[in-house]
């Protein structure tokens, strides 16, 4: 018997009228081991990304590039369509891309919960067709299953910070937000500071230790 999925039955979704919002999210797209191997073996991916981009693939992260101070997926073309999907087909995409804007977690009662990202305009504004259980099951399959709810948080490059570590970063953000400067200037400073912090995290381990976070914050 298939597990019940908890979700809002009034929620609507349709992938349309959006300037590739999901390809410009301020978070990294993680790759599992199978995806890393598949991307590494595909000549077109290496040609598209070059050595620097392939170094991120080896770390289990889809690389991004800065376009007018906005991060976007390295596979996004100027026509706002995915070059990977055009070249290699939908099935080649990472699980995260195929299942977005849906995620699935098992809560503390071991109930399967569908999460829907408000970063997707359709989810946020509630337009499109009503979401069905079958559509959720299809997305769950594309996602590769559910995860346990976690207090850990990921950076845009896929480094996993514990709640205590992330709170240290948050306190630095709050210090900058309290500055008597124009809001846009402060936000740009926050962007630059956060990028510098992530770049300064030592090593390549998915979960940096406390000493590494301290070093990056210095």
Q: What digits encode the pLDDT tens for the residues 140-179?
A: 998 888 877 666 677 777 788 887 888 898 888 888 887 7
| Same domain membership, residue 127 and residue 35 | yes
| Same domain membership, residue 170 and residue 190 | yes
Assign 76 to helix, strand or coil. strand
| Same domain membership, residue 121 and residue 138 | yes
| Same domain membership, residue 54 and residue 101 | yes
Residue that the structure tokens 């039955």 belong to: 9
| Same domain membership, residue 187 and residue 166 | yes
Distance between CA atoms of 15 and 67, rounded to whole angstroms?
23
Spell out the residues 6+ positions from residue 27 whose beta carbon is closer than 8 angstroms to its own: 154, 155, 156
pLDDT at residue 95 in the model: 92
Region of 10 on the Ramachandran plot (φ > 0 left; ψ -120 to 50 alpha; else beta) = alpha
pTM above 0.95, yes or no: no
Q: What's the total number of domains in the chain?
A: 2
- With cut-offs at 50, 70 and 90, classify the pLDDT of residue 57: very high
Instruction: Kindly state the percentage of the chain with pLDDT values over 70.
Output: 96
pLDDT at residue 1 in the model: 53
| Same domain membership, residue 198 and residue 144 | no
End position of a domain, from candidates 101, 124, 149? 149
Q: Classify strands 70-73 and 64-67 as parallel, antiparallel or unpaired.
A: antiparallel
Residues 73 and 29 sit within 8 Å (Cβ to Cβ): yes
What Å distances lie between residue 120 and 66, 113, 115, CA to CA?
A: 21, 18, 12
Spell out the residues 6+ positions from residue 202 whose beta carbon is closer than 8 angstroms to its own: 208, 212, 215, 216
Distance between CA atoms of 179 and 202, rounded to whole angstroms?
29
| Same domain membership, residue 158 and residue 92 | no
Distance between CA atoms of 38 and 58, rounded to whole angstroms?
11
End position of a domain, from candidates 91, 126, 149? 149
| Same domain membership, residue 158 and residue 129 | no
End position of a domain, from candidates 91, 125, 149? 149
- Size of the chain in residues: 218
Assign 37 to helix, strand or coil. helix
What Å distances lie between residue 217 and 98, 156, 168, 212, CA to CA?
A: 35, 17, 9, 9
**Which residues form the domain of 196?**
153-217
| Same domain membership, residue 186 and residue 141 | no
| Same domain membership, residue 103 and residue 85 | yes
| Same domain membership, residue 188 and residue 109 | no
Long-range Cβ contacts of 134-140 (<8 Å, 24+ apart):
136/5, 136/7, 136/102, 137/2, 137/5, 139/98, 139/99, 139/102, 139/104, 139/114, 140/5, 140/99, 140/102, 140/104, 140/112, 140/114
| Same domain membership, residue 137 and residue 201 | no
pLDDT at residue 149 in the model: 65
- List pLDDT tens digits, range 112-148: 989 888 778 898 889 999 999 999 999 999 888 887 7
Instruction: Provide the β-strand partners of residue 73.
Output: 64
């Amino acid at each position: 018997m298939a597990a019940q999925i908890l979700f809002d039955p009034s929620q609507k979704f349709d992938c349309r009228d959006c300037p590739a919002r999901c390809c410009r999210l301020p978070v990294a797209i993680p790759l599992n081991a199978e995806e890393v191997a598949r991307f590494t073996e595909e000549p077109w991916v290496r040609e598209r990304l070059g050595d620097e981009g392939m170094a991120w693939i080896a770390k289990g992260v889809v690389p991004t590039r800065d376009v007018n101070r906005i991060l976007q997926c390295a596979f996004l073309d100027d026509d706002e369509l995915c070059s990977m999907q055009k070249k290699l087909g939908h099935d080649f995409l990472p699980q995260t891309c195929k299942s977005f804007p849906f995620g699935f977690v098992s809560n503390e009662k071991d109930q399967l919960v569908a999460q829907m990202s408000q970063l997707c305009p359709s989810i946020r504004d509630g337009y499109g067709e009503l979401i069905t259980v079958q559509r959720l099951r299809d997305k769950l399959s594309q996602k590769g299953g559910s995860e346990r709810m976690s207090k850990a948080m990921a950076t845009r490059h896929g480094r996993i910070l514990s709640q205590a570590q992330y709170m240290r970063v948050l306190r630095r953000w709050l210090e900058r937000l309290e500055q008597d400067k124009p809001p846009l200037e402060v936000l740009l400073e926050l962007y630059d500071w956060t990028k510098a912090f992530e770049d300064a995290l030592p090593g390549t381990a998915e979960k940096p230790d406390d000493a590494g976070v301290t070093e990056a914050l210095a």
